[in-house]
């Protein structure tokens, strides 16, 4: 490794490069874009989707589990305080120790980690789970940690030594939630097997089993008096149980979809619940009636928790926001934003100053200078499959299962026109390099070329017999390439609509195609995660790269290298002449859905389903 001086020089070069190339003109207004970056990355945009939320015992901090780590926020201002990273997959659950001096995080990578909240130091990693860990909780005295997960088991850990001190077996499906009783002598767990089990911590034996839910139990919580237990389930209900007898006291109904979280107010008189129906509900514990339905979130609500003072509660959602609610008035404010996950069809505009994706069937635009997002509610009546920028930077197009392609003015956020076929769902849309045409592919294999500014059909291309997966124009705009579920990649003359040639694809499960900058080579990923290369003029097969689960490919501007995203998160850089691997960039925790080079080829941007975009300084990694 070179010394720190070289690092400073390289960073200075990057800053100068930012001022020269619009693609990387990303103002680091928010310090969080540089927190705990993986090696080779110079910025991160987005915070990952939200998982469990936990208040610190004094109510001054909240911890938010996300796809990339655990975020720590000031509970009053929403200002980010820290980001704990190290897990290699999404974080499901977080918990503060009773003294607030440590945080435990449970992860899909099968580990539990403990962090010191004062020094930010990783204290220990607990590794005996064989699969994803869904829930973690401290005992009331903080000396023991309990965790449960996909392997159906519950494990007890000594928080001082990190040793496993017990294993609880009995559930027949994944353990989704675990909690200690108020005296710390009992662990209660909920499972996808639909049962709630009570365990004796000392002996590891099952004390009693509660049955009644008709689907998986997602959340359990003791009333502050310790006499009753509340549970939330995918069967759309909440249940209140008598801890001593196991009898159901009340069943709370009203949510239209599965309930994923339930929590008592500090005084035990109110329940709060979150649901996949995008709502929160406050319930009167005594009567079982709904006190309030909170509807400000526009995406699935993933979590809810009361402030220790009981006056406010916090919720997280797939809409990317963490909201603070007044429990008396039901009004809310956005505490923090940027926690968007499950984004698909990610694209960049030509100069890289803006990116777009689809979330909750809305188009979301990211200003890369400020890391701010803008949501454009669409008029599509079904799922949006694809969104793409026009090269001139003025328009954005979306294709939907409702059979339409819609064009939007970026500046005014207004809908301009609808390209309506309605005979088959739209699977892919792409603009020509000159911004004159747009190509749309359909589930029935048809491809249509449209005039952008008039909305009229120019050509109808028919040869594919199944869904069109990918479309791309050649750099000169004269040729269109299309890949399909029928296991073929076709080349078309854009002017005449003539079919030029067909390449065979071995596996249709997923494919993405790309032209080299000179238009002489075309590459295509396949369902096996491999990439094939063909000579465009001769049709000859050039090379196959056999690498498991590669999802997407992009060539550098000079054509000397190409980058590939993978299903498991790494980004790979290859030499385009020798087809040898040059770099492996690790940092994403989920599949890479989009990659693009800066105009000078020195920087690479990668978007992932973990809800983040990473900027990679390729040159600095090579120098190292």
356-395 pLDDT, tens per residue? Answer: 777 666 777 777 666 566 667 677 888 888 888 888 888 8
Q: pLDDT tens-digit profile of 588-601?
A: 988 888 888 887 88
Q: What is the predicted pLDDT for the residue at 373? A: 66
Mean pLDDT of 166-181: 97
Distances in Å between the Cα of 273 and the Cα atoms of 103, 182, 213, 308, 523 are: 24, 21, 16, 16, 49
345, exposed or middle or buried, with CB in 10 Å at 0-12, 13-18, 19+?
Answer: buried
Q: Which secondary-structure segment (H or E) carries 387?
A: strand 384-389
pLDDT of 19 strictly over 70: no
Taking the CA of residue 523 as centre, how many other CA atoms within 13 Å lie in the half-sphere pointing to its CB?
25
φ, ψ of residue 24 in degrees (nearest 5): -110, 25
Contact at 8 Å (CB) between 606 and 588?
A: yes
pLDDT of 320 strictly over 70: yes
**Bigger pLDDT: 541 vs 623:** 541
Sign of CA dihedral 593, 574, 392, 511: negative
**Bigger pLDDT: 3 vs 457:** 457
Contact at 8 Å (CB) between 449 and 461?
A: yes
- Pick left, alpha or beta for residue 529 (phi over 0 → left; psi -120 to 50 → alpha; otherwise beta): left
Mean pLDDT of 411-436: 86
Q: pLDDT tens-digit profile of 101-126?
A: 999 999 988 999 999 999 989 999 99
Q: Which band of pLDDT confidence, cut at 50, 70 and 90, is reported for residue 345?
A: low
Token pair belonging to 57: 């015992």
State the average pLDDT for the chain.
87
Q: pLDDT tens-digit profile of 237-258?
A: 999 999 999 999 999 999 999 9
Distance from C-alpha of 187 to C-alpha of 137, rounded to nearest angstrom? 10
pLDDT of 11 strictly over 50: no
Q: Who's near 601: CB < 8 A, 6+ residues apart?
A: 556, 557, 558, 560, 561, 618
Sheet with 513-515: list strands edge to edge: 513-515, 521-525, 531-535, 541-545
Q: What is the predicted pLDDT for the residue at 32? A: 83
pLDDT of 16 strictly over 70: no
Q: What is the predicted pLDDT for the residue at 23? A: 32
Q: Model-level pTM?
A: 0.82
Q: Which band of pLDDT confidence, cut at 50, 70 and 90, is reported for residue 52?
A: very high
Sign of CA dihedral 617, 621, 622, 624: positive
Distance from C-alpha of 617 to C-alpha of 67, rounded to nearest angstrom? 23
């Amino acid at each position: 490794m070179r010394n720190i001086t070289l690092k400073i020089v390289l960073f200075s070069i990057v800053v100068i490069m930012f001022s020269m190339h619009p693609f990387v003109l990303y103002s680091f207004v928010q310090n969080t874009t540089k927190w705990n970056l993986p090696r080779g990355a110079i910025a991160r945009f987005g915070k990952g989707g939200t998982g469990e939320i936990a208040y610190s015992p004094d109510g001054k901090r909240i911890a938010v589990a996300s796809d990339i780590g655990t975020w720590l926020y000031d509970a009053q201002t929403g200002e980010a305080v820290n980001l704990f990273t190290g897990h290699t997959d999404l974080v499901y659950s977080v918990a503060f120790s009773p003294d607030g001096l440590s945080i435990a995080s449970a992860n899909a990578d099968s580990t539990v980690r403990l962090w010191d909240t004062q020094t930010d130091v990783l204290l220990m990693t607990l590794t005996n789970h064989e699969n994803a860990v869904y829930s973690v909780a401290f005992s009331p005295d903080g000396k023991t940690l309990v965790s449960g997960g996909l392997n159906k088991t519950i494990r007890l850990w000594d928080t001082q030594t990190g040793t496993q001190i017990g294993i609880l077996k009995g559930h027949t499906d994944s353990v989704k939630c675990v909690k200690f009783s108020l005296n710390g002598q009992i662990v209660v767990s909920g499972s996808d097997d639909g049962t709630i089990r009570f365990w004796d911590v000392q002996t590891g034996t099952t004390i009693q089993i509660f049955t009644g839910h008709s689907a998986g139990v997602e959340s359990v919580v003791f009333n502050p008096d310790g006499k009753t237990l509340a549970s939330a389930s995918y069967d759309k209900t909440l249940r209140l149980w008598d801890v001593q007898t196991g009898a159901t006291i009340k069943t709370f109904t009203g949510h239209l979809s599965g309930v994923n979280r339930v929590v008592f107010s500090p005084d035990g008189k109110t329940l709060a619940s979150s649901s996949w129906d995008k709502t929160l509900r406050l319930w009167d514990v005594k009567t079982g009636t709904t006190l309030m339905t909170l509807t400000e979130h526009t995406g699935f609500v993933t979590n809810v928790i009361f402030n220790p003072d009981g006056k406010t509660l916090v919720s997280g959602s797939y809409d990317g926001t963490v909201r603070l609610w007044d429990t008396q008035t039901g009004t809310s404010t956005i505490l923090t934003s940027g926690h968007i996950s499950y984004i698909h069809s990610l694209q960049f505009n030509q100069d890289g100053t803006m990116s777009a994706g689809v979330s909750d069937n809305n188009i979301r635009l990211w200003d890369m200078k400020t890391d701010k997002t803008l949501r454009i509610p669409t008029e599509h009546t079904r799922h949006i499959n694809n969104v793409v920028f026009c090269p001139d930077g003025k328009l954005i197009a979306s294709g939907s299962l409702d059979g339409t392609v819609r064009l939007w003015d970026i500046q005014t956020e207004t809908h301009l026109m609808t390209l309506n076929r309605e005979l088959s769902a739209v699977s892919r849309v792409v603009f020509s390099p000159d911004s004159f045409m747009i190509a749309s592919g359909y589930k029935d294999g048809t491809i249509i070329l449209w005039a952008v500014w008039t909305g009229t059909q120019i050509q109808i291309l028919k040869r594919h017999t199944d869904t069109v997966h990918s479309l791309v124009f050649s750099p000169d705009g004269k040729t269109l390439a299309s890949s399909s579920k029928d296991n073929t990649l076709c080349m078309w003359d854009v002017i005449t609509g003539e079919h030029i040639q067909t390449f065979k694809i071995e596996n249709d499960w997923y494919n993405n195609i790309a032209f080299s900058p000179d238009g002489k080579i075309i590459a295509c990923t396949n369902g096996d995660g491999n990439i094939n290369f063909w000579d465009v003029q001769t049709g000859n097969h050039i090379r196959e790269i056999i690498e498991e689960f590669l999802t997407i490919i992009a060539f550098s501007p000079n054509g000397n290298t190409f980058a590939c995203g993978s299903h498991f998160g790494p980004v790979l850089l290859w030499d385009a002449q020798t087809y040898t691997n040059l770099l492996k960039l690790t940092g994403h925790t989920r599949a890479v859905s989009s990659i693009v080079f800066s105009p000078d080829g020195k920087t690479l941007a990668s978007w992932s389903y973990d809800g983040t975009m990473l900027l990679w300084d390729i040159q600095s990694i090579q120098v190292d």
